[in-house]
């Protein structure tokens, strides 16, 4: 697939940038990044520099601003699905790969930080990671965090992906992977693409089903967390999940 380099710079009426010009200067941008740090760069400038990886020549500032206009923010660009990015004028294989590489690197870094300490000791770090990984997904995904007897992360797996408002949960598969990983506790997570993390009746019933199944293995279900762009919700904190959480 060839890299495309044409796009419509006209912003939406409520877009962050009323103009996508003027041209930038690559050397100056690199000097700012290396000399003054990333904090000296606006979001569109970070994206502009990221696009340097795909476009060896030319001014990437107009495309960077157009992308933020389209997706609403720098984070929105990074989290956009590859097929959505490919359908965006101006982007092709190299630029989409660069964008998704940065997103994957950020998620992996956050997950590495999680693995260094008991998860329940730093709930804010856990929620930040889950939000980064799942909040902007366009379909529901069901994730399981498998923990050891010190509540350290053993495995982090997306067990299933579904549609915009449903994802299948295979309890037997969760039980099988619990045995295989040697986990003694779990946190299950899924996202709501609608943005609202409020649980449905099915969410509550599924939580109880998983809890009953893993209890037969003497495994604790610490929580079921629902992630949405509008925030997050803990079924344990809301009183839908009973039993001790170590």
**Closest by Cα among 86, 114, 90 to 100:** 86
pLDDT band for 186, please (50, 70, 90 cuts).
very high
Task: Identify which has the larger pLDDT, 2 or 119.
Answer: 119
- For the ranges 7-16, 108-117, 118-127, which has the lowest average pLDDT? 7-16
| SS3 assignment, position 127 | helix
CA 60/CA 121 separation, integer angstroms: 42
Report the run of H or E that residue 213 belongs to, with start and end: helix 201-215
pLDDT of the residue at 12:
58
Ranges of each domain in the chain: 26-106, 119-234
**Closest by Cα among 176, 123, 125, 115 to 150:** 115
CA 157/CA 187 separation, integer angstroms: 11
169 has pLDDT over 50: yes
Burial of 45 by CB count in 10 Å (0-12 exposed, 13-18 middle, 19+ buried)? buried
pLDDT band for 138, please (50, 70, 90 cuts).
confident
| CATH entry, 119-234, from 3.30.365.10, 3.40.140.10, 3.30.70.270, 3.40.50.1970 | 3.40.140.10
Q: Which residue has the tokens 């030319």?
A: 58
CA 66/CA 15 separation, integer angstroms: 9
């Amino acid at each position: 697939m060839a890299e495309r380099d044409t796009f419509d710079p006209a912003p939406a009426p409520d877009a962050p940038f009323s103009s996508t010009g003027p041209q930038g200067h690559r050397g100056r941008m690199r000097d700012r990044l290396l000399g003054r740090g990333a904090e000296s760069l606006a979001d569109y400038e970070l994206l502009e520099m990221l696009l340097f990886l795909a476009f060896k020549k030319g001014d990437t500032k107009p495309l960077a601003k157009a992308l933020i206009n389209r997706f609403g923010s720098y984070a929105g660009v990074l989290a956009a699905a590859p097929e959505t990015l490919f359908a965006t004028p101006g982007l092709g294989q190299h630029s989409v790969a660069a964008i998704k590489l940065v997103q994957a690197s950020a998620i992996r870094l956050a997950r590495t930080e999680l693995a260094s300490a008991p998860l329940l000791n730093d709930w804010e770090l856990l929620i930040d990671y889950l939000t980064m990984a799942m909040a902007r997904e366009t379909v529901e995904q069901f994730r399981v965090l498998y923990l050891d007897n010190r509540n350290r992360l053993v495995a982090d797996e997306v067990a299933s992906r579904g549609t915009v408002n449903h994802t299948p949960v295979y309890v037997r598969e969760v039980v099988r992977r619990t045995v295989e990983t040697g986990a003694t506790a779990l946190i299950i997570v899924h996202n709501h693409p609608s943005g609202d993390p409020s649980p449905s009746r099915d969410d509550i019933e599924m939580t109880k089903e998983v809890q009953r199944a893993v209890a037969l293995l003497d495994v604790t279900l610490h929580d079921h967390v629902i992630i949405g762009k509008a925030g997050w919700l803990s079924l344990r904190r809301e009183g839908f999940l009973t039993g001790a959480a170590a």
